Amino acid sequence: MIPGTKKPPRTEAPLIGITPDTGRSPSRAAGNGGKLLIVLQQRYARAIQEAGGVPLILPISSSSTLLRQMADRLDGILVSGGNFDIHPRLYGEEATNKLGEIKEERTQFELGLISLALERDLPLLGVCGGAQAINVALGGSLYQDIASQLPEAGQHQQGKLKEIGGHKITVHDGTKLKLIVKQEKLEVNTTHHQAVKKLGRGLIVNATAEDGVIEGIESTRHFFVLGVQWHPEFLTERDVLQRKIFASLISACKRVND
């Protein structure tokens, strides 16, 4: 601190750790794969900030000590989505030929962080693949590919509609999600080819698509553990109900710290 200056007052805004994705920087050198990066779409951080939280992008690590230190300091966790799959061996299945890209380091990091959050009852929000990770962390399983395993299902990979929403879901009565949005129907955007199959321990379904595919889950054993299969961070500027999802995370963090 600069001599003569006062220490800034402690903010009451909750500190929310956001899990990032991995990638590589472009490289001009032939044969060089570029430098390893952690990346995060700005929309996640903006949604947290606009809801009244302080977003913090977390470093992906295999260190159990570092994970515990993160959990010690964070008020809540947002597990972001990503264009990759969780390896099915983590839920006791063999991989099919429809399995997408695997990011082992990120998956292990997120599962470890989720487990710590669950142990400490830290408020936890999972978006798209983050919802799937919560389910797997609690012993649940996934459909490895909706199109091949649920051929009667509708189209859930609607990336071109990510900014506006692609299909409707039904929000179930008696759930935390229903208390948050106070609506039976929501227009959501989905860009996933996997979905929750068997529910993890203590989880219930809070939303389903018109074809029956699970679109949301939540824990009955924790203060605030919510997973949504769509991408509310893309819809916050046009839909107040999507903003309420992030606001509910911030509110839960404040109530835990009171």
Which residue numbers are catalytic?
128, 231, 233
Strand 124-127 and strand 142-143: the pairing is unpaired
For residues 189 and 205, give the distance between their C-alpha atoms in angstroms, rounded to a whole number.
18
Tokens, residue 215 = 């679109």
Buried b (16+ CB within 10 A) or exposed e, 188-210: bbbbbbbbbbebbeebeebbbbe
Give, to the nearest 10 degrees, the angle between helix 240-257 and helix 42-50.
Answer: 70
Q: Walk across the sheet containing 214-219 and list its strands.
A: 54-57, 15-19, 76-79, 124-127, 225-228, 214-219, 203-209, 167-171, 185-188
CB 199 within 8 A of CB 205: yes
Helix (H) and strand (E) counts for the chain?
Answer: 7, 13
Backbone angles phi, psi at 169, to 5 degrees: -125, 160
For residues 246 and 75, give the distance between their C-alpha atoms in angstroms, rounded to a whole number.
14
